[in-house]
Amino acid sequence: MRLFLIRHGETVDNVAGILAGRRDSALTNHGAEQARRLSDYLAENRTSLTRIFSSTLQRAYKTASIVAAKQTTTDLTVSTVPYLIERDFGYYEGKTNRVRKGPDAEEHKKEPGFVDVESKDELAVRADLFLDLHLLPLLDDEAEFGGAAEHVVAVVSHGILLSSLWRRLLLRLGPGSVTVARDVVSNRGPVVLAHLGGWSNTGFLELSIQSVDPELGSELSPADAGSSPPESDATVNVSTLDSPGNSPGEVVPPQLLTESSGIEMPTDQSDVVGDVSVTKNAINAEPSEKEGLRLLEGYRTTILIVDGQQHLQGLKRQRGGIGRAEHDDKQQSMTSFFKKARKD
């Protein structure tokens, strides 16, 4: 499986700097253009999507619809899933994060009808439901065909939910089964597993989840051959990277940080599978977090791109407040308007 976890385009509430949460905040004109750029990029540089899932909120659904429009897959539709909606900020929706984390937080709880922020545990439950009911069955579908057919899946959602979704997926992956592509290591440096980096508007996390032939041990299955994107065609062993302060060729241990402590922790070298490798200890999960979870044994996962923004290179916001205004599907961009005018 090739998996893209994508955040929606810029919204009116993003521009205003307020917490949108369950509010159905609309895309801005700039946000719609970000989605179009992403749509073009995926259509031109990746294998066609076979499935696309989206939050039910319009900012995610419209982003997903724009992405789907350029795909060549027959009968590809956007499947909306309520589990993928953004965190419920309760009382604080429509307010700034400064208000939420300000000195009057305890006083807010005394307000009539106060609703607290959705907890991380509640987010995790929704993420697990999506994985178990929608995503992991697609891996079973691939297995039935013996790896001859690969799903290419896009999940369009919201930054906080996507972070929870990635972490819940990470908890299911086997020891030493996660590798990191060369570009991720060279561009981002230390890898923080549980927090790979915030999702920018239309930024995406790209993963390859491939079945490993048990007879080959750590070797890749045929389905994994050539699965890396053009700009990231290899994985790298961080222990051989040169870094500031180190002599060329000096051994540098992989830098994996735990979620709770933030302390650097080298991976267990016995779990290294030729590339940057991840042990379950790097996640620092409580045993209770893994109870009842379906673990992905026999799969190798490669982190190919983190917060991908290649499609946004050269994109400029329309001036005069137009870019920040709410997008209307009937509107034209200034570029398309003038192109049409020249044809007339």
Q: What are phi and psi of 193, to 5 degrees?
A: -60, -55
Which residue from 96, 166, 119, 135 is spatially nearest to 307, judged by alpha carbons? Answer: 166
Which residue reads 């508007």 in tokens? Answer: 201
Helix (H, G, I), strand (E, B) or coil at 142: helix
User: How far, in Å, CA of 46 to CA of 305, rounded?
Assistant: 13
Angle at 134 between CA 133 and CA 139, to 5 degrees: 105
Q: Which residue in 8, 158, 311, 327 is the catalytic one? A: 8
Quote the tokens at residue 234: 């290899």
Are the beta carbons of 181 and 305 closer than 8 angstroms? Answer: yes
User: How far, in Å, CA of 113 to CA of 68, rounded?
Assistant: 40
User: How far, in Å, CA of 155 to CA of 79, rounded?
Assistant: 9
Measure CA 288 to chain center: 25
14 is in an annotated binding site: yes
158 is in an annotated binding site: no
Are the beta carbons of 159 and 198 closer than 8 angstroms? Answer: yes
Quote the tokens at residue 264: 């650097």
Q: Which residue in 33, 86, 93, 150 is the catalytic one? A: 86
User: How far, in Å, CA of 86 to CA of 240, rounded?
Assistant: 40
Amino acid code (one letter) for 291: E
Q: How many Cβ atoms from other residues are within 10 Å of residue 306's Cβ?
A: 23
59 is in an annotated binding site: yes
10 is in an annotated binding site: yes
Please list, in sequence order, all residues whose beta carbon lies within 8 angstroms of the beta carbon of residue 127, skipping any fewer than 6 positions away: 83, 161, 164, 165, 167, 168, 169
86 labelled catalytic: yes
User: How far, in Å, CA of 146 to CA of 34, rounded?
Assistant: 37
8 is in an annotated binding site: yes
33 labelled catalytic: no
12 is in an annotated binding site: yes
* Residues that are catalytic: 8, 86
Binding site, residues?
7-14, 59
Binding site for substrate, residues?
7-14, 59
